[in-house]
Amino acid sequence: MLLLRRFPTFTLTLFSCILLCESNTLKARQTVRNFPDGFLFGTATASYQIEGGWNADGKSENIWDHMTHNNPCVTDDCLNGDVADDSYNLYKRDVEMARELGLDFYRFSISWSRVLPTSFPDKMNEAGVQYYNNLINELLKYNIEPMVTIYHWDLPQKLQEMSGWTNPHIVDWFSDYSRVLFEQFGDRVKYWITLNEPREICYQGYGSVTMAPQLNIQGTAEYMCAKNLLVAHAKAYHIYDKEFRATQGGTIGITISASWMEPETEDHAEAAEVMRQFEWGQYAHPIFSKAGDFPPVMKERIAAKSAAQGFQRSRLPEFTAEEVEMVRGSSDFFGLNHYSSVIVFKNESSLTYDVPSYYDDIEANGYQPSDWSGAASSWLKDVPWGFYKLLTAIRENYDNPVVFITENGYSTYGGLEDEDRITYYRGYLNAMLDAMEDGSDVRVYTAWSLMDNFEWMRGYTERFGLYEVDYESPERTRTPRKSAFVYKEIVRTRALDFNYEPNTTIMTIDEGH
């Protein structure tokens, strides 16, 4: 999820024109549009956001446990994920919801510190392994494929105290952890995601303070993190490819967060492209481009600025030739988390930024016009044409890779009548179908999220769930929203019907799930 550093206020009527013109580039909306045969639908969650049981049955502390316990009001509501949705105990209800929706797959993540409480493979936590075995087996019992994310932001605190993702030894730590998961669960898991949203891990956690561990080391730590993360991902990929793929028959990739960056005018087209390369090209280019390595504009710009600032070498670490080759091509699919878009303008004023810093290196910034329809999250606007443009850019820039949409969703403040979420999903699915008709090879769509959950720094103030969770109830009662009924119909019919109105009196389980 993209969080830009600052948003200038503009009141130009040009922006309404931009929105209208871009919307008109999409194909005319049809009443009913069909998805291709074999297209897969699912929902997603993440371990810290739903599991609870933060210290249950041998689990050790992770960076979100540590941060929220030591500074409780770091979140908007001074709450944490100690109990969250209590999925550690209520996983059967989670699977029941997946059955109610008729899902093809359920994407969830595994907690490193629940499986390996020392962070290393010297000690396996059997209770943690059994929890995930139970969840996986319950899903497969009802023909729902598990899609497993190996790492979704909850690094063991012990590893963070050893510099976390800025320590090059994390390549081996992550590889060892990944091998354990392949060994324990790979006989049944056929879809693997190594890492979720590298930009949020590195920029927000290491360069800024908007995610744990809140290091706020601008212009250096996020780049160190990025290199180590990419090499760690690639090593885990090759371990699976060489040691497990032949016998387990699965697929493995990485999930990258990407917003669409639209230039304010043609004069800002270069700035928008530079921002794209920094924001998501930084992680996509090394893997999916023919050349590999960090994007050239990043290497050139950061090296020049570093020299001018008195550094002895570029603040952007270099890949060795061997690392470039190892990282390049190390994903079976382009996992894409997409939520919204921004308008980008060139900004060369060093007075605007800390120096050195990520945004000073970019020399551009972004904002979202006030007339864009917005969600409960300040950064999330309903801009479906941006999704179309993003998918088109991925197709054109990276030789049309297989794309898995691994997150897409909309936040509200709660309530079962969520028309805005329904409008968002329909608009984004429509834009995705437009891109697919143009040739984009999208094969998977994942709604974020199955249910309300701990929304990181926002606590429980923003709700993304198809199911509403009652956090006042010890049972954490889950109730389907109207959007859940609409999504269920999309999955059942394999079609997008803009006129469908559900009967929301009861959510039933269809035969086969």
Catalytic-residue membership of 455? no
Mean pLDDT of 131-148: 99
Q: Which residue among the candidates 100, 138, 197, 279 is catalytic per the annotation?
A: 197
Q: Which residues of 406-419 are buried (b: 16+ CB within 10 A; e: fewer)?
A: bbbbbbbebeeebe
Within 13 Å, how many C-alpha atoms sit on residue 498's CB side?
A: 13
pLDDT of residue 253: 99
pLDDT of residue 281: 98
Is 299 buried (19+), middle (13-18) or exposed (0-12) by CB count in 10 A?
middle
pLDDT of residue 353: 78
Mean pLDDT of 119-147: 98
Q: Which residue among the candidates 200, 264, 407, 462 is catalytic per the annotation?
A: 407
Query: Does a structural domain hold residue 112?
Result: yes
State CA 33 to chain mean position distance: 26
Query: Does a structural domain hold residue 504?
Result: no
Residue 137 tokens, joined: 């087996």
Task: Give residue-wise pLDDT tens across range 186-212.
Answer: 999 999 999 999 999 999 999 999 999
Can you name the residues that pair with 345 across neighbouring β-strands? 365
Query: Does a structural domain hold residue 222?
Result: yes
Q: In whole angstroms, what is the distance from residue 117 CA to residue 17 CA?
A: 55
Q: Which range of residues forms the domain containing residue 207?
A: 14-497
Query: Does a structural domain hold residue 6?
Result: no
Residue 244 tokens, joined: 């497990």
pLDDT of 509 above 90: yes
Catalytic-residue membership of 407? yes
pLDDT of 12 above 60: no
Task: Give residue-wise pLDDT tens across range 208-247.
Answer: 999 999 999 999 999 999 999 999 999 999 999 999 999 9
Residue 349 pLDDT class (50, 70, 90 cuts): confident
Is 91 buried (19+), middle (13-18) or exposed (0-12) by CB count in 10 A?
buried
pLDDT of 10 above 90: no
Query: Does a structural domain hold residue 255?
Result: yes
pLDDT of residue 351: 64
Number of domains in the chain: 1
Query: Does a structural domain hold residue 510?
Result: no
- We report the CATH number of the domain holding residue 198 as 3.20.20.80
Task: Give residue-wise pLDDT tens across range 273-326.
Answer: 999 999 999 999 999 999 999 999 999 999 999 999 999 999 999 999 999 999
DSSP, collapsed to helix, strand or coil, labels residue 282 as helix
383: phi then psi, degrees, rounded to nearest 5? -135, 70
Can you name the residues that pair with 221 across neighbouring β-strands? none
- Average pLDDT across the chain, whole number: 94
User: The whole model's pTM is what?
Assistant: 0.94
pLDDT of residue 9: 34
pLDDT of 398 above 90: yes
Query: Does a structural domain hold residue 404?
Result: yes
Residue 429 pLDDT class (50, 70, 90 cuts): very high
| Alpha-carbon distance values, 432 to 106, 429, 441, 495 (Å) | 20, 5, 10, 13
pLDDT of 11 above 50: no
Task: Give residue-wise pLDDT tens across range 30-76.
Answer: 689 999 999 999 999 999 999 999 999 999 999 999 999 999 999 99
Query: Does a structural domain hold residue 513?
Result: no
Question: Do the strands 341-346 and 403-407 form a parallel or antiparallel pair, or are they unpaired?
Answer: unpaired
